[in-house]
């Protein structure tokens, strides 16, 4: 008998659930408030450039399965960023290497390709621009979802919540289910901390020659937390141009989250010009930004708490369940949840 599963969030964790359930009697329907899929592993196009303004790349680390998966999804357009990541400190001193060499994968068409390819092979139904507002557990044990237009979806045999923990906590607060497992799950999800990052993009009509792809501040003491050169990704920036992706430190980002882009970008460009010791960088020819209110998890949820409502069909998945803000870990977490739904784990 076909079972129907709803997944709130079509980021990499959400498509991971769908991937686990492909070619099985479990039918997965994904809902996302955004106009596309892939969540924080995001890509945008502007002025002839393509840029990943959330996650920068997929880094397999020790996990060989990631390389295998990427090969299965198709190597056309798969691109390794060859130049290394260096570091900078609170004083702006730049130093070579941070000891994590190895492939840094993205796609010529942008990092969203990962989720798009997974979703395509999973064949799951996706409803975009559908923000789920509340959830109800019906008397017969099934689940229904209601979106912000008041439309009801379901019934479903199970529901998986994958938004960042604070947004999942809001959904749990709006869940109609008189059961102590809901309270336990809600308290545990609500306790997961997320940090904020405002990403500012600075474009220049000239090339920037540097021996590194990116700089990261491992001490988190400089207002610039991360700075990378999008032109190091094949197919993203036309020759002779430079596009800097600047992820500001959490304190800076919270303080200036709502500051208009033009004035925030002026400040960022000054900081970048100073850090890279290049006065030309104070004057980008166009800028863009993205505020990530819930960018990366600073803590995670206890595994037993995360699973406490699973026998009633209520699941959570995502990077904050996996324990670290990484594309491949969020995907793997979603896939593992999917396997548990199938009863394969
Ligand atoms: C600035 C930045 C840089 C990063 N750099 C890297 C990196 O270089 N490498 C790396 O591996 N990882 C990086 N990460 C982390 C990586 O992006 C995340 O760990 C991963 O994408 C999380 O996937 P997810 O599916 O768990 O969550 P998400 O991608 O957040 O997906 C959740 C989805 O839920 C949707 N949603 C939320 N609420 C609702 C609702 N009520 N109804 C419907 N839909 C809803 C959202 O629109 C979203 O699409 C970075 C993240 C950020 C923000």
Q: Where are the alpha helices (DSSP H) in the chain?
A: 12-20, 64-73, 112-122, 165-173, 180-190, 250-255, 261-276, 303-306, 319-322, 327-342
Question: Where are the strands (E) in 109-165, listed by range?
Answer: 125-127, 132-137, 143-147, 152-156, 158-161
Give CA 248 to chain center in angstroms: 16
Arithmetic mean of pLDDT over the chain = 96
Distance (Å) from CA 33 to ligand 1 centroid: 13
Instruction: Kindly give the distance from the C-alpha atom of residue 289 to the centroid of ligand 1, in angstroms, as a whole number.
Output: 16
If you take atom 33 of ligand 1, which residue's CA is the nearest one?
A: 9
CA of 300 to the centre of ligand 1 (A): 15
Q: pLDDT tens for residues 146-178?
A: 999 999 999 999 999 999 999 999 999 999 999
Whole-number pLDDT of residue 144: 98
Helices then strands (H, E): number in the chain?
Answer: 10, 20
Q: Which residues pair with 79 in a beta bridge?
A: 106
**CA 195 to ligand 1 center in whole angstroms:** 12
Go through the domains of the chain in sequence order and give each one's CATH number: 3-41+115-193+300-342 (3.50.50.60), 80-109+194-297 (3.90.660.10)
| Residue 55, ligand 1, Cβ within 6 A | yes
The rounded Å distance from CA 325 to ligand 1 centre is 8
- How confident is the model over 289-301, as pLDDT tens digits? 999 999 999 999 9
Tens-digit pLDDT profile for residues 240-289: 999 999 999 999 999 999 999 999 999 999 999 999 999 999 999 999 99
Residue 36 has pLDDT above 70, yes or no: yes
Determine which residue's CA is closest to atom 31 belonging to ligand 1. Answer: 11
Cα(33)–Cα(41) distance, rounded to whole angstroms? 15
12, pLDDT greater than 90: yes
Q: Is the pTM of this model over 0.85?
A: yes
Please work out whether the CB of residue 327 comes within 6 Å of at least one atom of ligand 1.
Answer: yes
């Amino acid at each position: 008998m076909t079972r129907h599963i709803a997944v709130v969030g079509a980021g990499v964790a959400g498509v991971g659930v769908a991937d686990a359930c492909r070619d099985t009697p479990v039918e997965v329907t994904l809902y996302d408030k955004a106009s596309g899929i892939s969540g924080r592993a995001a890509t945008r196009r502007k002025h002839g450039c393509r840029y990943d303004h959330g996650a920068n790349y997929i880094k397999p680390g020790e996990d060989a399965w990631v390389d295998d998966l990427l090969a299965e999804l198709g190597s056309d357009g798969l691109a390794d960023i060859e130049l290394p990541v260096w570091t900078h400190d609170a004083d702006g001193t730049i130093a070579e290497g941070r000891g994590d060499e190895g492939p840094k994968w993205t796609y010529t068409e942008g990092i969203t390709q990962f989720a798009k390819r997974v979703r395509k092979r999973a064949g799951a139904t996706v409803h975009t621009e559908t923000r789920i507002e509340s959830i109800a557990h019906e008397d017969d044990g099934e689940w229904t979802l209601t979106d912000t237009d008041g439309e009801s979806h379901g019934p479903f045999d199970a529901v998986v919540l994958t938004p960042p923990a604070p947004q999942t906590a809001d959904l749990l607060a709006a869940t109609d289910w008189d059961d102590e497992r809901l309270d336990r799950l809600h308290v545990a999800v609500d306790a997961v901390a997320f940090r904020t990052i405002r990403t500012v993009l600075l474009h220049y009509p000239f090339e920037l020659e540097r021996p590194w792809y990116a700089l990261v501040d491992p001490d988190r003491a400089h207002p610039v937390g991360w700075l990378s050169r999008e032109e190091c990704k094949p197919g993203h920036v036309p020759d002779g141009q430079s596009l800097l992706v600047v992820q500001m430190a959490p304190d800076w980002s919270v303080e200036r989250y709502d500051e208009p882009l033009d004035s925030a970008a002026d400040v960022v460009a000054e900081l970048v010009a100073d850090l890279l010791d290049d006065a030309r960088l104070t004057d980008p020819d166009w800028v863009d930004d993205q505020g990530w209110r819930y960018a990366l998890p600073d803590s995670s949820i206890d595994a037993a708490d995360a699973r406490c409502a699973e026998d009633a069909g209520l699941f959570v998945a995502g990077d904050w369940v996996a324990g670290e803000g990484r594309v491949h870990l969020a995907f793997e977490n979603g896939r593992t949840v999917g396997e548990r739904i199938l009863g394969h784990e």
